[in-house]
Amino acid sequence: MSISTGLSSYLYGSVAFAAISLATTGAFAACTGPGAPTNTQTKCLTAIQIPGNPLRSFDISFVNPNRAEYYLADRSNAGIDVINTQNLTFKRTIHGFVGIVLNGTGTAVNNNKSGPDGVVNHGKWLYAGDGDSSLKVIDLNDTGPTPIKATIFTGGTTRLDEMDLTTDGKLLLAANNAEDPPFATLFHANGDSATNTMSSASIISRITVSPTIMPPGFGLSIEQPAWDPTTKRFYTSLPIIANNPPGCNPAVITGPTACDGGLLVTDPATVTPVTYVQGAYDPATNTGVVPLHACGPNGATVGPHDNLLLGCTPQNNGNDVITQVINAATKNYANVANITGSDEVWYNAGDNRYYTGSSRDCTVSGSPCPAASQQTPVLGVIDGTSVLIEKIRQSSGSHSVAADSKRNLIFVPQVAPVAVVGTGGDTTTVGMQTCGSSNGCVAVYAHDVEQDDDGHDRDGGDRDHRDRDR
């Protein structure tokens, strides 16, 4: 199936036209090289250029398919980039963030102090964490100079990172991942309110994990939360926890004494005001820390049948070389082999697939995973039944992914070459070939759900339709 035939036949006319125009006019040669293979089901469609500084550092992204908008935490330009997912055009950057902060020697980006970082959206309200431990509350309908309607500090000295919302948008859980010990903050959020209702008084509680599970002094972290509407719980990735397995050393990243991670289950209805400490998992309340096996996760996303996909990564435990899917209710789990090293992960209900921003996939199979120099950044594609479909090469450090479920478009930002931006830049040619430029970009991939592997229309009865209920 080619871009000019299969993809253009199901994408909106403006999208298809944009892809064809770029290909025929030679405006730039995007979607070439290892990041745009011709033998994958997920095809590179085009690349969207971001005005301003070349992309050196970015973090989490999010899509609202009803608004047809993609949001990227772009530290290089100190703002949130907004892209129209209907016609695949850049709209604007919402400024007002600290941007890139370098380390003490000025040689690399200090992610713990830079921002924006985590980002999530409900309706017209966008929420983003910043490098100064603040939450920015943004009105997307305000196209004027002051769309940030509130700045709320969580009391840390480092970034407010990943976050998620309840289905109604009324509760927000956000993690200060780089504090020691780390903590999360539960907020009353705006929901569908026409005007901002949030201030410092919106903070319900600071949530921490028992020091017997996450002892201070080891630099342990709280990562991506995911809200499950069925169990009405937040499920938050804990990359490393103590005594998992018994006798492990939280300071060791690989070898027989390295620790696996956990999954923090939080019922917002039972969170107490001001401070709330969570301990070991209690099956009677479905709250607390669930120890994981063979997984130190960063990302988390809710998929079909009340399952959560966790972005396990050898960055947390070099022995962990899989991706894990765990059921929110039963805690039964399955390991997906031959894909690992993910930060942000995303379930796309439009095609019943998980997409992983795997910056540290193992180049060589087996455990432990090779050193960072032998880890390969890929876009992972996993079926809703937990089967690995394919992996597509990405630029160095590619760790962010989000999908538009209405249009089945997958957005993967690419870092600019190291020759352009210095330390942290792409050390391969993959990003430059995918982008068709040396400034970095947001690559757009597409999956044609009307065609199966053999090119047969699913409506023709070759296969049963898959259950896409969340």
Give 371's pLDDT tier (boundaries 50, 70, 90).
confident
Query: Is 414 a member of any domain?
Result: no
Lowest mean pLDDT among 87-96, 338-347, 367-376, 397-406: 367-376
pLDDT above 80 for 6: no
Domain that holds residue 218: 57-291
Q: Quote the pLDDT of residue 373.
A: 78
More confident residue, 336 or 371: 336
pLDDT recorded at residue 366: 85
- How many CB atoms sit inside 10 A of residue 146's CB? 9
In the chain, the number of structural domains is: 1
- pLDDT greater than 70 at residue 25: no
Let me know: does 298 contact 289? Beta carbons within 8 Å. no
- Bridge partners of residue 327, in order along the sequence: 307
Residue 411 lies in a domain: no
Asked whether the predicted pLDDT for residue 7 surpasses 50, the reply is: no
d(CA 13, CA 19): 10
Which one has a higher pLDDT value, 301 or 28? 301
Beta strands in 140-202 (DSSP E): 148-153, 163-165, 171-176, 183-188
Is the residue at 90 inside a domain?
yes
- Flag whether 44 is in a domain: no
Task: Read off the pLDDT of each residue in 445-460 and give the average, rounded to a whole number.
Answer: 60
pLDDT surpasses 80 at 466: no
Q: Tell me if 64 is assigned to some domain.
A: yes
pLDDT above 70 (res 27): no
Average pLDDT, the chain: 91
How far apart are the two ends of the chain, measured CA to CA in Å? 29
Mean pLDDT of 43-61: 98
Q: How confident is the model at residue 451 (pLDDT cuts 50, 70, 90)?
A: low
What pLDDT sits at residue 448?
A: 85
Q: Is the pLDDT of residue 42 over 90?
A: yes
79-112 pLDDT, tens digit per residue, is 999 999 999 999 999 999 999 999 999 999 999 9
- DSSP codes joined into one string, 13-56: HHHHHHHHHHHHH-S---S-GGGS-SSSSEEEEEEE--SSS--S
Tell me whether residue 260 is in a domain. yes
Q: Which residue, among 213, 221, 252, has the nearest Cα to 238 in the 3D structure?
A: 221
Please check whether residue 196 lies inside any domain of the structure.
yes
For residue 15, pLDDT beyond 60: no
pLDDT tens track for 388-408: 999 999 999 999 999 999 999
Once rounded to an integer, what is the mean pLDDT over residues 324-344? 97
Band of the pLDDT at 28, cuts 50, 70, 90? low
Q: What share of the chain has pLDDT > 90, as a percent?
A: 86
CATH number for the domain harbouring residue 250:
2.130.10.10
pLDDT in tens, 119-168: 999 999 999 999 999 999 999 999 999 999 999 999 999 999 999 999 99
Which residues 6+ apart lie within 8 Å of 197 measured at CB?
188, 190
β-pair type (148-153, 353-362): unpaired
Residue 220 in any domain: the answer is: yes
SS3 415: coil
Report the predicted TM-score, pTM, of the whole model to 2 decimal places: 0.91
Top-confidence residue, 197 or 454:
197
